[in-house]
Amino acid sequence: MARSRRDILDWLRLARTPEVGPATFAQLIGRFGSASAALEELPRLAQRGGKAKNFAPASEQDAARELDQLEKVGGRFILSRDEDFPEGLAALSPPPPLISVLGKLPAKDMIAIVGARNASALARKFAHMLARELGEAGLVVVSGLARGIDSAAHEAALELGTVAVVAGGVDVVYPPENESLYRAIVAQGAVISEMPFGEAPQARHFPRRNRLISGLSRGVVVVEAAERSGSLITANYALEQGREIFAVPGSPLDPRARGANRLIRDGATLIESASDVLAVLNPILGRTFHVPETASPPAPQMTPGLEEEADRVRRRIEEALGASPVEMDELIRQTGADSSVVLTVILELELAGRCRRHPGNRVSWATVPAV
């Protein structure tokens, strides 16, 4: 689809508007058909959801500044509607509205290799060997540019194809000691991000980064990971997305191996070489990405009487919400309302800052209303 600067700015403004996450973005585009139309409707929808003060979308000036800054360093935005948007990300439910890219994003099948930042010497050596061999087999290696396993995987795959997904702005090097590796990846592969240009990475950004790492990939290899580590978050996203999960076994005496060992107990494929990975992936390489059954419901189309019906059942829906996340399907079942009506009310509540979405197509109150 052809796009103008105006199209990019409208898409960027909607994506950068407070309270508009990927799921809300997809609902708005599905409902109104374009970013420009959605931007016009945002203040009214937020007011319907109970927003006390005026709702202001991200400004055109801020969007233009971000676009100019990205282009100045040789980067570009790829919108989720663009033909060259990565197929793996397009299959996510919901996909990220856009990504910023430095370098050239390869149009090839990818494999993620992740693991501990404080990795052992043997684990780093294995990650390096694995990335090299998978690259030679034609796969692009994806990782998160962190210390340890991520760095070893990127370094081994530099000449063969590698993509770094970062938690801050695409221009922000983190950790700082990886600046030379970052520059090399920009020159020989690609660095991508979902975050605004210049944004410093924060703890809450890393799960979104991990979701993109697994989403880009046909499978995720966990080389070494402690319990409750970011690598296990990436593996959990891979499970939700229908991707393959691989794990390298480690010593039960090493805390850094406990996460990978648990993945194996839970059904991940135990691997000892690149051939173990390829044996699983070869039958699916080049095929369309699978969309999980837990995909978010489609956005409600604007139909006569939709908002009137939403007003009629709004109180019933609000009473069914609580502090603990509830699945959207359960919310629809309990309220007895049509799915399009429930989605409309949730959309308005979220724009008003009163409702929060959670992984697994679940929602809760952002703050519990006073009784």
Closest CA to 220 of 230, 108, 195: 230
Least confident of 220-229, 247-256, 305-314: 305-314
Residue 101's SS3 state is strand
Say which CATH class 306-365 falls into.
mainly alpha
Sign of CA dihedral 29, 32, 36, 41: negative
Entry pTM: 0.93
- HSE (CB half, 13 Å, CA atoms) of 258? 8
**Average pLDDT of the segment spanning 116-130:** 97
Tokens, residue 12: 């960027």
Asked if pLDDT for residue 7 goes beyond 50, the answer is yes
Q: What angle do CA 133, 287, 139 make, to 5 degrees?
A: 15
User: Rg of the Cα trace of the chain?
Assistant: 21
CA distance 52 to 42: 14
The pLDDT score that the predictor gives to residue 371 is 43
**Average pLDDT of the segment spanning 155-176:** 97
For residue 306, the one-letter residue type is L
- Where do the structural domains in the chain lie, given as residue ranges? 104-281, 306-365
pLDDT digits (tens, 9 = 90+) for 327-362: 999 999 999 999 989 999 999 999 999 999 988 889
Dihedral class, residue 336 (left if φ above 0, else alpha if ψ from -120 to 50, else beta): left
pLDDT digits (tens, 9 = 90+) for 283-304: 999 999 977 665 566 666 667 7
- 144 pLDDT band, cuts 50/70/90, is very high
For residue 33, the one-letter residue type is G
Is residue 243 within 8 A of residue 234, CB to CB? The reply is: no
The pLDDT score that the predictor gives to residue 257 is 94
pLDDT digits (tens, 9 = 90+) for 131-141: 999 999 999 99
The pLDDT score that the predictor gives to residue 143 is 98
pLDDT digits (tens, 9 = 90+) for 194-248: 999 999 999 999 999 999 999 999 999 999 999 889 999 999 999 999 999 999 9
What's domain 104-281's architecture? Answer: 3-Layer(aba) Sandwich (3.40)
Mean pLDDT of the chain: 93
Stretch (H or E) spanning 7? helix 5-15
